[in-house]
Amino acid sequence: MSTSNKSTRLEHLTASAARALLIAGDITSADLVSAYIGRIAEHDNDVGAWAHIDARKALDAAEASDAARARGEAMPPLAGIPVGVKDVIDTKDYPTELGSEVFTGRQPSNDAFVVSQLKAAGAIVLGKTVTTELAFFGPGKTHNPHDPERTPGGSSSGSAAAVADNQAPLALGTQTAGSVIRPASYCGVIGFKPTFGYTSRTGVLAQSPPLDTIGGYARSVEDIALLFDCMSDFDAADGDMTAGAKPSLLAALKSSELQAPRLAFVKSPAWPQGDEAMRAALEQFAVRFGIVEMPLPAAFDEILRRQQIVQFSDIARNYGPIADANPDRVSAKLKEIIAEGRTFSQADYDAARKKQNVLYAALRPILDTYDAILTPAAAGVAPVGLGGTGSPMFNGLWTYLEMPCISLPLLDVDGLPLGVQLVGARGDDARLLRAAAWLMQQGK
């Protein structure tokens, strides 16, 4: 490392900053990976973000990346950068146990499509991060880095906590209701869920295919853009993927000077269930930036239940056989949701699916006027206790509407992080990230 960078804590770098140092030759990938391995060794007992990690395997990959760079080979965008992968996303080099004892020892023979893309981009899989039981409500072993007595959220708990605690610069999550955005809010990092169909889910646990979306965590909006530019190639095996080339998110961030976005403050039907401190903080934030509140049409009053009908019906369909075959190895909560999901008829399910586009169309007056929606990311700060993961009530409706969402760590209550959520129009992920980047510049 050069003299000017000797004081740099490598594990505190953003991925983009680390990439710049790697390109300049000021650090090696082995330096970077070693720093993260050291951080994990120091903090893993307290945070518990990792389900599987192999330090030697990660260092071998880092050294191979360094050797390729030394030979003068063309280096891809994430060359030498470590990434954590949620343990519902298949990896052929690590077990993928889905947060469930039913799948202890499960070893995929192939990488998920997104993992293959990340490896092709030069990323180093640092390990598998803890998920809740089958990416639902059953908590894993992870603690919130800001207060070990509080939940990190679910289901992408390990990924959010790893990035928040400087144990990885980037990590993958998944969201079916609020499993990316809520942990980001609780742990004080940036969490991004793109438009439905933006990333492939081949090789990823299927919970509710009309809702399931790959998301990610980072410590800068630029890093989010870098990550998703490297894993959004079209996959014909995923029938819900959007065909056609996607514009570079990173290029969109850098194409011109960031301008103040037009934002609409939307409280959503869950607003009364948010705690008083959260509501006050969001209202003050909106006032600070002159953001006008926009009410939702009355048709949105039932949207949270419609999302649950889709999700719970699919959980009954996809997880019911697992629970039936392993009644003593699944949680009571999962059994309860499976039972509820089985009460919905096909007509209920079809009606809820049909409403997705109907309700999205009802948002057009807002989306045609504003760049993004400002709305809560969670009901409050991370709740005390590790027996639950918090409520997705402020996230599920946007997932149901297939819209891109991002949580920004711009607020705190009594020293604990509270995210600000921005929601964009379908397919307008680049504009959403530009709005987020401007707000991160101005909002601290």
d(CA 439, CA 444) in angstroms, rounded, equals 8
What is residue 144's DSSP assignment? B
Asked about 355 being catalytic, the answer comes back as no
Residue type, 255: S
**DSSP letter, residue 205:** -
Phi, psi of 70, deg, nearest 5: -65, -30
Distance CA 140, CA 86 (A): 12
**From the candidates 155, 156, 157, 391, which is the catalytic residue?**
155
Selected catalytic residue, list 65, 86, 128, 156:
86
* Catalytic annotation present for 155: yes
User: Under a CB-based contact definition with an 8 Å cutoff, are residues 281 and 411 in contact?
Assistant: yes
Q: Are 146 and 164 in contact (CB under 8 A)?
A: yes
CA–CA dist 248, 271 (Å, integer):
34
Cis, peptide link before residue 155, omega less than 30° from 0 = yes
Check 116, 159, 179, 268 and give the catalytic one: 179
Full strand arrangement of the beta sheet holding 82-86? 50-53, 124-129, 82-86, 170-175, 213-218, 190-193, 405-413, 416-423, 372-376, 263-265, 292-293
How far is Cα 11 from Cα 167, in angstroms, rounded to an integer? 7
Q: Residue 77 corresponds to which tokens in the numbers above?
A: 């965008």
Q: Which residues contact 324 (CB under 8 A, 6 or more apart)?
A: none
Tokens of 56: 């030697």
Catalytic residue flag (residue 179): yes
Give the containing element (helix H, strand E) for 317: helix 303-325
Catalytic residue set? 86, 155, 179
